Chain A
Amino acid sequence: MSRRLLPVVALVLVLAVVTGAFVLLYRQPQEVRVVVYAYRDAITGIDPGAEDDVGVVVLHALYDTLLRYDPRTGEYVPWLAERFEKVAEDRWLIVIRKGAVFHDGSPVTAEDVRFSIERALALYEEGIGLGFVWSCVKEVEVLNATHLEVVTDGPCDLRRVASAAYSAFVYSRRVLQLSGAANLTDRKLIEWFNSGNELGSGPYRLRSYKPEREVVLERFREWWGWKVVNNPRAPDVVVIRIVEDPGEQERGLRAGEIHIASSVPRAVLKSLREGGFEVRVADTYHNFILMFNVLRWPTNVTEVRRAIALAIPWDSVVSACLHGYGRVGSGLIPYGFPGYDPELRLGQDLEEAARLLAEARVAGGTELEIVITSGYDEEECFAQLLAGELAKLGLRLRITSLPWDLVKQRGTEVWSNPEAAPHMIINDWWPTYVTPYDYLSLLECGYVTWNWAGYCDEEFDERLWEAYEVDLADLEKALPLYQELQRYIYEELPAINLWDMRHIYVYNPKKVLLPERALNPLYTYVVFFEYVEVLS
């Protein structure tokens, strides 16, 4: 090996680099429009009837709902349903859009709508999914291929239900055949969906499904909605990439690998704006509820829970942890949502907290455990703040940070082994549809999946169901009942809303445009990709 080899090697390297750079920089403009959306939690499943968690981010692209609702305008937008009318006190007529087809080419029929509704209800009976939204449905009558009538149990605004964020999707009944399922609630069907299959009528179809890393969607050319939406620059391919670390989302954004980021560290927003990125702040009904373990010492004592709640530095929580992008919580229901009560706010009062702790005879040095979700820097910040304040009261706080699916596991532990379940856990919540029942249902006894407080109060449950029954017929009439329930909870404090969070989407306006209508506070973290415009 002589030294003459060195310049040759160097030359080859330089050539490679130059060619590479040339190829990269002066490439032909892509014929395929690609959008990469970064989301921070692994997708929990894509069964349109059973999914009750973050899978909606994908579901709203694969499937259509009959209607869409915009809480900002109060309007119901006909979506898969061309007409959705009340024809009698307890009867609704639904007409399916002409030309709506599923991804396999078969037309969307009334039978499919009935199938979807019935399955949602059947699954809910077995404790799966959020099919409770259809609880006022008594019967579904199919009139012909495109017309159906839904008979309800008493007066019920079905429009609210048909535009829900969960369990209101319409899918083909052929899935029974395709999955080999024997009936509506056969687990085989759920597994079929969750291993990466779908049969919806939405603007995108599923190309590849790796729930931990990325889900790739491709445009469904025969979607009925392309004419309605009128967006010639809609993406052909959508990549929903799971990036748990906010810092990584930011780097990917700056590197051009991510086009729309949903969770960047708030501290760098100013710098991103200066760097030419567009920051879209969206109001949502997404709130962060701190749940106490009411079955374990010392949080089983109301005074202790109140003390901890009074220790929280309410004034600085939003500015410190959300950098102002949010609002302090009041009661369990978020601002702007029906049932919100501004009177249920708390303030920090360390003296009172100390007094309550002494009253409950909590020894100094007692250790409490809080479980938060890793990568949620707002929760990390809160936990650290709380630790500092509790230290002033002589309490030690152990912070356990886990990925979301493990947080859920620890949360449900309160029912099987309350002594091992954490004292506090943060359950971030967003609506299924527009009803205060949604947020209060978190404290229903037996709602093992999401009731992480272990709270079990028969009277509360009864009154809650009463309120919901009234709600189904007339929301306005139910509001005072809900208010009473909130006050009741306020005394017991099994759970408390820390803050309502505003969502921050950051994107590069030279590459993509994220118009207002692509986001909707009712459909949390859902980006309606059919409205996204890809520029380059």
Chain B
Amino acid sequence: MTTVTEALRDLLRLIRRAWRRPAFRVAFSLALALTVLGLLGPYVAPYPLQGLGVEVVSERSLLPPSLEHPLGTDAMGRDILSRVLFGLWRATVVTLLVISVSSALGLFVGSAAAILPKPAETVLVYTMELFISVPSVLLAAALVAATGGGLVPLTVALIATWWPWYGRVAYTQARALRELDFVNLPRLFGLSRLYIVRKHIVPHVVSPVLVEALSDLGSVVIEMSTITFIFGASQSISEPDLGVMVGLGLRYITTHPWVVLSPALFLALLAISFTVFGEVLYEEANPVLRKRWFRWF
């Protein structure tokens, strides 16, 4: 699809522009390294069973960092390095999933809203406004209480509350476009709305949405880990999740600080590198910042 290649080319150009700034270079490299580490995590972890939480070695609990356990062991004797790697995997996969699905969803709904007849448009815009008003953590809690926990309710809740942001961006962009001739003429020719959305609107809207999406990577990481941190107290203790690990490690912070430091450090690095990456990208894409801010925030 030409839209995808075009969008990617624009993105590449943006990255090249952003590359001039040293902050971006550091952030990008770090983010990339952590993502790769996260995706490979389960395969390189030295004690994969402990990482997953299946194996427990109580006699070796709360050991400080050593050669066998570079980051030490936690309260259940599990190797912290393996746990962190698995947790990193979860964080990266969920973040990427949430961002890609919400941006795709928002893109289509927002663009469609711009071109559909007034009643449908109102309904779609209303739906977007509605989901923006619901706090993700509470929606996640409701879904967890109803279905019994796990990664799926969390991801669904995040997607449900993030997509409207992209919907809004797409909608505002598309709305500006719909007055233009190259959109109206095809309508006069009787081409279906869906076709017009795909062929004429989406390509112009993809770029801003993509940039928004990338700049939100950091926020999603933070939000996801905040939710799991809060929920961590009530969920299963064997799940390898960075937020939960920090929450549980807090118990021993005054006596065995390494238990909390490792997941916290990795989480912070992930969040900061993603945030900087996204922010610089955003700044480069929108040199005239003010007008944009008013439009859709």
A residues within 8 Å of B by Cβ? 245-247, 250, 254, 265, 267-268, 270-271, 316, 319-321, 374, 377, 380-381, 384-385, 387-388, 391, 399, 401
Contacts and interface: CB of A to CB of B under 8 A. Distances in A.
B237 interface: yes
A401 B58 contact: no
B55 A267 contact: no
A254 B234 CA distance: 24
A385 B76 CA distance: 9
B252 interface: yes
A247 B74 CA distance: 14
A223 to B, nearest CB: 39
Interface string B59-75: 10110000000000001
B15 interface: no
Contacts of B59: 316, 319-320
B3 interface: no
Contacts of B254: 254, 268, 271
Contact of B56 (A270, A271, A384): A384
Given A267-B256, A268-B254, A316-B59, A381 B76 contact: yes
Contact of B236 (A245, A250, A271, A401): A401
18 contacts: A246-B251, A247-B251, A247-B252, A250-B251, A265-B251, A265-B252, A267-B255, A267-B256, A271-B255, A316-B58, A316-B59, A320-B58, A377-B75, A384-B58, A385-B56, A385-B58, A388-B57, A399-B236
B147 to A, nearest CB: 15
B233 interface: yes
A267 B75 contact: yes
A374 B232 CA distance: 12
B54 interface: yes
Contact of A247 (B61, B62, B76, B250): B250
Contacts of B62: 267
Given A265-B251, A384-B76, A245 B233 contact: yes
Given A316-B58, A385-B56, A374 B234 contact: yes
B238 interface: yes
Contact of A391 (B54, B58, B76, B256): B54
Contacts of B251: 245-247, 250, 265, 268
Contacts of B57: 388
A267 B252 contact: yes
B58 A381 contact: yes
A534 to B, nearest CB: 26
A313 to B, nearest CB: 9
B27 to A, nearest CB: 30
A154 B55 CA distance: 57
Contacts of B58: 316, 320-321, 381, 384-385
Interface in B45-104: 54-59, 61-62, 75-76
Contacts of A384: 56, 58, 76, 238
Interface string B242-254: 0000000011101
A410 to B, nearest CB: 14
A380 B255 contact: no
Given A247-B250, A388-B55, 4 more contacts: A267-B75, A316-B58, A384-B76, A401-B237
Interface string B227-240: 00000011011100
Nearest to A254: B254
A380 B252 contact: no
Interface of B: 54-59, 61-62, 75-76, 233-234, 236-238, 250-252, 254-256
Contacts of A270: 255
A384 B75 CA distance: 11
Contacts of A320: 58-59, 61
A271 B252 CA distance: 10
Contacts of B236: 399, 401
Among B54, B56, B62, B238, the most chain A Cβ lie within 10 Å of the Cβ of B56
Closest 10 CB pairs of A and B: A247-B251, A320-B58, A384-B56, A271-B255, A268-B255, A388-B56, A384-B76, A385-B58, A265-B251, A267-B62
B58 to A, nearest CB: 4
Among B237, B252, B255, B256, the most chain A Cβ lie within 10 Å of the Cβ of B255
A401 B238 CA distance: 11
A398 to B, nearest CB: 9
Contacts of B55: 388, 391
Contacts of B75: 265, 267, 377
Nearest to A320: B58
Among B57, B61, B251, the most chain A Cβ lie within 10 Å of the Cβ of B251
A127 to B, nearest CB: 32
A95 B233 CA distance: 52
A321 B57 CA distance: 11
Contacts of B56: 384-385, 387-388
Contacts of A267: 61-62, 75, 252, 255-256
A343 B233 CA distance: 40
Nearest to A319: B59
Contacts of A254: 254
Nearest to B58: A320
Contacts of B252: 247, 265, 267-268
Contacts of B76: 381, 384
Among B62, B238, B256, the most chain A Cβ lie within 10 Å of the Cβ of B238
A268 B251 CA distance: 9
A380 B250 contact: no
A38 to B, nearest CB: 14
A387 B234 CA distance: 20
B150 to A, nearest CB: 13
B238 A399 contact: yes
A377 B74 CA distance: 13
A65 B241 CA distance: 50
A404 to B, nearest CB: 14
Contacts of B233: 245
A376 to B, nearest CB: 12
Nearest to A321: B58
Contacts of B238: 384, 399
A143 B256 CA distance: 65
